[in-house]
Amino acid sequence: VAARLDEARRVAIFGGTHGNEMSGVMLVNLWVQNNTEVQRKGVEVQPFITNPKAVEKCTRYVDTDLNRAFTPENLSTLGGGDLPYEVRRAQEINRMFGPKGSPEAYDVIFDLHNTTSNMGCTLLLESSKDHFNLQMMNYIQKSIFPASCLVLLNEHPLLKYSTSRSVAKHPVGLEVGPQPQGVLRSNIFESMRDILKHALDFIELFNAGMEFPPCTVEVFRLSERIDYPRDDNGNIIAMVHPNLQDCDWEPLNPGDPMFQTFDGKTIHYQGSGTVYPTFINEAAYYEKQQAFATTRRESLVASAIRKA
């Protein structure tokens, strides 16, 4: 028996949440000027630049990371002009597309990101119980086959963070790499564009009444954050090992090379079992004390769904 879900009538596409992640900036600017490509029957699609000041300066953020700013404290705090730019911006976005957690919130928000890591196309899932999202991700994967698109699930109680897309009922992150910050690579841009096309097709089909049968979706569940080895002053003393560099999603076994010191010594992975590393050597995570994250493979079953 299919779960009956509300139709997804209001959809937003966020670009420039990090102002130097260029695919999303370019796509959203394009669609703000001319939205023909993202129009679908029975859906309102709003492309939106979330951090215009950061986009203008071509920097990740101005005062603080917008994609960590949607905490309950930030969204409810008073302070007006004294607040960091991104906190004010988060409140504004919450008013426009939320409020977060309320029935008035947007149904779906796609948040477009790039990474310097060799992650290919990755869909970011925030809840293992979001059957709508699981079905959408399954649909996308089948549609782009033989090209691949993996699903990263961040449900970790400590590592989970308050994203701009979390304002919506069904938040979907899109991460495509590798691409340097501030650079626009044609192939990366077109990959992201293609994924969004299929995502919007799914929503149109769902709203038109199509039933999606139960499916199994393989996900990579976020497990641990691994920092660079540092000295007592906090300076990095080793680099991601050449054997690990660019090997996102490939198994990392205990004993495998992980870091290489500046004088060429190898530091090995000391975990208890095989993990699948991701976000390997992401530029923005040096300041967040993360060289890479480990994940574990898991199969999630999505129930059949149908519009209510």
Partner 1 sequence: MELDEVVCFSRFSRVAICGGTHGNELSGVYLVREMQKAERKAKERGNDMEVITVLSNPRAVQRGLRYIDTDLNRCFTHAMLSGSNTNDAPYEIIRSRELNALLGPKGSRDAVDLVCDLHNTTANMGLCLISYSDSDWLCLHVFRHLQRQMPDVPTRFIHFNATNKESYSLDSVGKHGFALEAGPQPHGVMRSNIYTTMKMGVEHVLDWVCLFNSGFVFEGGSVDVYTVVRNIDYPRDRDTHNITAAVHPQLQDRDFCLLYPEDPLFLTLSGETLRYKGKEPLYPFFINECAYYEKGIAVSLARKRRVAIPAIRVQTEQEQQAKKDECTSEEEEE
> Is the Cβ of residue 235 or residue 270 nearer to partner 1 in the bound state?
235
Which candidate in 7, 175, 211, 218 is catalytic? 175
* Cα 303 from Cα 214, distance rounded (Å): 5
**161 known member of a binding site:** yes
Residue 113 Ramachandran class (φ > 0 left, ψ -120 to 50 alpha, else beta):
beta
Residue 241 Cβ vs partner 1, minimum distance, rounded to whole Å: 6
Chain mean position to CA 43: 22
**68 known member of a binding site:** yes
**163 known member of a binding site:** yes
Residue 228 Cβ vs partner 1, minimum distance, rounded to whole Å: 9
Q: From 155, 137, 122, select the one nearest 217 (Cα to Cα).
A: 137
Q: From 86, 82, 81, 49, select the one nearest 67 (Cα to Cα).
A: 86
> Is the Cβ of residue 7 or residue 65 nearer to partner 1 in the bound state?
65
CA angle (15, 19, 25) in 5-degree steps: 35
Write the CA distances from 294 to 52, 187, 255, 259, 269, integer angstroms.
32, 27, 15, 14, 11
Residue with tokens 């994203």: 163
**243 known member of a binding site:** no
Residue 154 Cβ vs partner 1, minimum distance, rounded to whole Å: 22
* Cα 160 from Cα 284, distance rounded (Å): 17
Residue 126 · residue 203 · CB < 8 Å: no
**162 known member of a binding site:** yes
**175 known member of a binding site:** yes
Q: From 173, 174, 151, 149, select the one nearest 162 (Cα to Cα).
A: 173
> Is the Cβ of residue 73 or residue 287 nearer to partner 1 in the bound state?
287
> Is the Cβ of residue 156 or residue 185 nearer to partner 1 in the bound state?
185
Which of helix, strand or coil describes residue 261?
strand
**18 known member of a binding site:** yes
Residue 116 Cβ vs partner 1, minimum distance, rounded to whole Å: 4
> Is the Cβ of residue 17 or residue 191 nearer to partner 1 in the bound state?
191
Which residues contribute to the site for partner 1 (CB under 8 A)?
26, 29-30, 58, 116, 178-187, 189, 235-236, 239-242, 245, 260, 262-263, 281-284, 286-287
Write the CA distances from 73 to 94, 162, 205, integer angstroms.
13, 11, 37
Residue 40 Cβ vs partner 1, minimum distance, rounded to whole Å: 20
Please confirm, yes or no, whether 175 is among the known catalytic residues.
yes
Q: Which residues belong to the annotated binding site for Zn(2+)?
A: 18, 21, 113
Q: Which residues belong to the annotated binding site?
A: 18, 21, 60, 67-68, 113, 161-165, 175, 285
Q: Which residues belong to the annotated binding site for substrate?
A: 67-68, 161-165
Active-site residue set = 175
Q: Which residues belong to the annotated binding site for N-acetyl-L-aspartate?
A: 60, 175, 285
